[in-house]
Chains A and B, each alone.
Chain A
């Protein structure tokens, strides 16, 4: 499925937002990649096209909030 440019950048922000919520409520150590994928209803490959790992997501969320 081809995503338009707006939708692509939306997903990036949605991932960050969802991750932030999970990290705050569960703590980083208790958050699994699956938790994030389920919350957003996206496939693994979508996540990994924006971030290298959950670690990477944390790094970005932490620097930007």
Chain B
């Protein structure tokens, strides 16, 4: 085995990328240190040096995936102008419209396997934690502009993001199309209530229902 000298950060992210692929393809439980070692052609001791447990590696994988997505959203939002509602609509659309991009569809397919439920839940928790501030900022902007009203923009964002994600993710639970349709119909009103936003201001959400796209 040729000894390749790599920078620690690069080595660390190589391991994370390899683990991500393996966790998704084989399932978290079925992935062994040996699998990762073979994939990267590095020693087990090296893997252990960076991650002293499989769970630690899982956390790092989840964090990496989540951070990349947040960074993508932040970048996409830098030049978006307009009032809070207009910017919010853009943020939500950019978040939802990931189909056909990179390996996104393949990743989703793997994440939806029951074997990856644990990883999926962790991912969701980190998504809510890291993305809520993006939404909270827009909620605050909306409050200043007089279109929204809430004393707790961050918690409001967490509540909405968390529950909507959970209730619409068929990978977490095989929700029926009826349940999804019913919920997407109701979300605009529920969100408007929560933010005391003008009636109908969130009606653009109904167009997002993934079920509609597949029909």
Contact = CB atoms under 8 A, between A and B. Distances in A.
A27 B52 contact: no
B37 to A, nearest CB: 10
Contact of A63 (B33, B43, B45, B49): B33
A48 B55 CA distance: 26
Given A62-B53, A63-B54, A28 B44 contact: yes
Interface residues of B, number: 13
Interface in B85-112: none
B52 A65 contact: yes
Contacts of A65: 52-55
A23 interface: yes
A45 interface: no
A29 B52 contact: no
Do most interface residues of chain B lie in helix, strand or loop, or is the interface mixed? helix
A11 interface: no
B33 A62 contact: yes
Given A24-B52, A27-B49, A63 B44 contact: no
B44 A58 contact: yes
A59 B34 contact: yes
Contact of A59 (B32, B45, B49): B32
B122 to A, nearest CB: 17
B204 interface: no
B48 A28 contact: yes
Interface in A2-60: 23-24, 27-29, 55, 58-59
Contacts of B49: 27-28
A65 B48 CA distance: 12
Contacts of B54: 62-65
Contacts of A58: 33, 44, 48
Contacts of A64: 53-54
Given A27-B49, A29-B43, A58-B44, 15 more contacts: A23-B52, A24-B52, A27-B45, A28-B45, A28-B49, A58-B48, A59-B32, A59-B34, A62-B47, A62-B48, A62-B52, A63-B32, A63-B33, A65-B52, A65-B54
Interface of B: 32-34, 43-45, 47-49, 52-55
13 contacts: A23-B48, A24-B52, A27-B48, A58-B33, A58-B48, A59-B32, A59-B44, A62-B48, A62-B52, A62-B54, A63-B54, A65-B53, A65-B54
Listed from nearest, the 8 A-B pairs whose CB atoms lie closest are A28-B45, A65-B53, A29-B45, A28-B48, A63-B54, A59-B33, A62-B33, A62-B54
